[in-house]
Structure 1
Amino acid sequence: MTALASSIKHDIAAAYAAWDSAFNKADARAIAATYVSDAKLLPPTHQVISGPTEIESFFAGLFASGFADHRLVVIDAGGDEKIVYGTAHWSANGRTADGASQPAGGIATHVFERQPDGSLKLKLHTFN
């Protein structure tokens, strides 16, 4: 079981690194591609955002408002061969109304589905 747990944590860390890379390139389409077709994104705005098209639009809006420099740091990871979860501290830099940099951050929860090729795609993502 320890080997599976170690492998899951490694897979989550790799998924987080890829997600951060897409975010830090302001590539909303690449971020959306990391979600399954029926994924849900639950941001602190209390919206329920469904599927890659709406998720892409959400992140495009964040990029337009000046968010950058995203980083996910694993708190915990677990699951099995099909469904895995990760919790993370997240941080990013936003912009105030006058354009000054403003740090943001919180806690995120991610539920992934393992794909036939072994990769992970997000099924549920919530953050505060």
Structure 2
Amino acid sequence: MMNLTSSTSFDFKAEIIGAYSAWDFAFNKADAKAVAATYVSNAKVLPPTHQVISGPEEIENFFAGLFSGGFTDHKLTIIDAGGDEKVVYSTAKWSAEGKGPDGSRQSAGGIATHVFERQADGSLKLRLHTFN
């Protein structure tokens, strides 16, 4: 277990950039199981549909639905990050490509908020993810 003391300093921005890179990589492989693995077991995803998505199975199914709809080329760009040794938060711009009703490529994007929990090994997993 990682020993975290008050003298421990974190580079929150670098940690978030790493977490975003891993998330984008899983998304862009259309690997719903790998995306769901980036969340804690009782995580919530709050998409613009106002649906509350809870836990690994629902999260995996939600992203599988996006992938079946042709979404790809996801990119998170950090706006802000902060936190402490237990909880890290960030805001980001997101963009992706999807398919319109006629099958043509359409760009999508918006703003996302993420709350991460630091795991015993020091890694970050998502507790809350909301986007518009």
1:44-123 residue pairs with structure 2 within 5 A? 44-123=48-127
Select 2:20's aligned residue among 16, 23, 45: 16
What residue in structure 1 maps to residue 9 of structure 2? Answer: 4
Highest CA radius of gyration, 1 or 2? 2
Q: Separation in 2 of the partners of 1:14 and 1:122?
A: 13
Amino acid at match of 1:124: L
TM-score normalised to the size of structure 1? 0.96
Amino acid at match of 2:105: S
Amino acid at match of 2:19: A
| Alignment deviations for residues 89-127 of structure 1 (CA, whole Å, 9 cap, x no partner) | 000001011110000000000000000001000000000
Percent identical: 72
Q: CA deviation at 1:4?
A: 3.5
| Alignment deviations for residues 15-58 of structure 1 (CA, whole Å, 9 cap, x no partner) | 00000000000000000000000000000000000011100000
Aligned residues: 126
Query: If each structure's helix is expressed as a fraction of its own residues, which one has the higher value?
Result: 1
Q: Which of structure 1's runs of 4+ aligned residues deviate more than 4 A?
A: none
TM-score normalised to the size of structure 2? 0.93
Amino acid at match of 1:4: S
Q: Separation in 2 of the partners of 1:10 and 1:118?
A: 13
